[in-house]
């Protein structure tokens, strides 16, 4: 009597979200063709799937220049830690559908994005970056991109206070260092925010009656109990790319609020980064824009007293020059 046929078990690993395994038992030579047929029916990307470790390793090695063409070539992990951001406590976590709520069945959405979420801290701030590295169907593939990110204050002393500070959204990777500096300054110099709240609106616009800025906004144009205050170290001078010293860097306050379907924000220069608030405050701009709209629908003015009018007429694109 011959030896019993040796059993061979082949395990086919599917992606993490499927969480299923198939075992094929080959008991005789006649079943070999069945094994080959089944193997040929499995997509190559399933057999060569990316593990979580593979995805994270790929994200860490990404060239920052591939995410933002204004940056010099450097591995992302090194740039975040040793480059201008100087981040701490980095955590890299693969994220199916980039942390967005899944709608429908997976069969209906085979090409959901695959992301790596990078959470971090730096001193008094915390935040995250969401980087698209491929799709859940194909794994790591295509051109990587920054989907978004956030810089926020951590460890605030009381519940509800956080609503009064602006959490900075990261439009592109090269903006991360200055946004970190702005939110850090707001966390470490909260008296500057209090100084801005107490500004007399008449010093910003002689057409207005004397009143504290925060009181004027809450009882008038904003009509809201929630105002978000933040630091702006370029005073919205987006075209400025030259590095400046602390003495030359302007210190501005931005206060933002939402009303109905619109968002509005006011930027005021109150001094310099080196000296803090000093001299007469200067209104830089008042802006109103429909939520979700692009910049072509934004209306701006150089007069604080124009805010109510801009809120009443936010649908006309362009810049309002009546305050010049």
* Spatial CB neighbours of 110, under 8 Å, sequence gap ≥ 6: 135, 136, 137
Range scoring the smallest mean pLDDT among 11-20, 82-91, 263-272: 11-20
Sequence spans of domains, the chain: 8-47, 50-186, 189-324
Q: How many whole angstroms separate alpha carbon 35 and alpha carbon 26?
A: 8
Higher pLDDT, 132 or 9: 132
Residues 240-256, mean pLDDT to the nearest whole number = 74
Task: Tell me the pLDDT band of 225, cut-offs 50, 70 and 90.
Answer: confident
Higher pLDDT, 159 or 156: 156
Q: What pLDDT is stored for residue 249 in this prediction?
A: 85
pLDDT tens digits along 60-71: 999 999 999 999
Place of tokens 């990587």: 144
Instruction: Name the token pair of 154.
Output: 């951590």
> Strands of 113-122's sheet, edge to edge?
88-96, 113-122, 125-135, 139-153, 168-169
Q: How many whole angstroms separate alpha carbon 73 and alpha carbon 258?
A: 39
- The verdict on pTM exceeding 0.75 is no
Q: How many whole angstroms separate alpha carbon 186 and alpha carbon 66?
A: 31
Three-class SS state of 181: helix
Q: What is the DSSP string of 145-171?
A: EEEEEEEEE-S-SSTTGGGGBPPEE-S
pLDDT tens digits along 113-151: 999 999 999 999 999 999 999 998 888 999 999 999 999
Higher pLDDT, 96 or 151: 151
C-alpha triplet 151, 294, 163: angle, nearest 5°: 35
């Amino acid at each position: 009597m011959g030896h019993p046929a040796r059993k061979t078990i082949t395990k086919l690993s599917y992606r993490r979200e499927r969480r299923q395994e198939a075992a094929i038992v080959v008991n005789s030579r006649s079943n070999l063709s069945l094994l080959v047929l089944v193997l040929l029916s499995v997509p190559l990307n399933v057999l060569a799937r990316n593990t979580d470790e593979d995805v994270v390793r790929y994200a860490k090695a990404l060239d920052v220049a591939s995410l933002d063409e204004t940056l010099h070539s450097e591995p992302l992990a090194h740039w975040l830690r040793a480059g201008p951001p100087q981040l701490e406590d980095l955590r890299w976590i693969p994220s199916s559908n980039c942390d967005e709520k899944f709608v429908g069945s997976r069969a209906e959405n085979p090409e959901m994005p695959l992301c790596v979420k990078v959470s971090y801290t730096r001193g008094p701030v915390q935040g995250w970056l969401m980087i698209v590295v491929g799709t859940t169907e194909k794994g790591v593939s295509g051109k990587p991109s920054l989907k978004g990110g956030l810089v926020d204050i951590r460890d605030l002393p009381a519940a509800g206070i956080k609503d009064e500070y602006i959490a900075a959204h990261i439009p592109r990777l090269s903006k991360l260092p200055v946004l970190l500096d702005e939110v850090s300054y707001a966390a470490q110099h909260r008296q500057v925010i209090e100084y801005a709240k107490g500004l007399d609106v008449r010093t910003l616009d002689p057409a207005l009656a004397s009143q504290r800025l925060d009181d004027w906004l809450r009882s008038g144009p904003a009509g809201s109990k929630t105002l978000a205050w933040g630091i702006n170290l370029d005073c919205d001078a987006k075209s400025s790319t030259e590095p400046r010293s602390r003495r030359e860097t302007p210190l501005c306050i931005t206060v933002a609020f939402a009303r109905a379907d619109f968002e509005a924000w006011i930027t005021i220069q109150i001094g310099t980064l080196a000296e803090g608030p000093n001299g007469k405050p200067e209104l830089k701009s008042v802006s109103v824009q429909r939520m979700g709209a692009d910049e072509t629908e934004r209306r701006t003015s150089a007069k604080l007293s124009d805010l109510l009018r801009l809120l009443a007429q936010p649908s006309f694109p362009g810049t309002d020059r009546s305050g010049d």
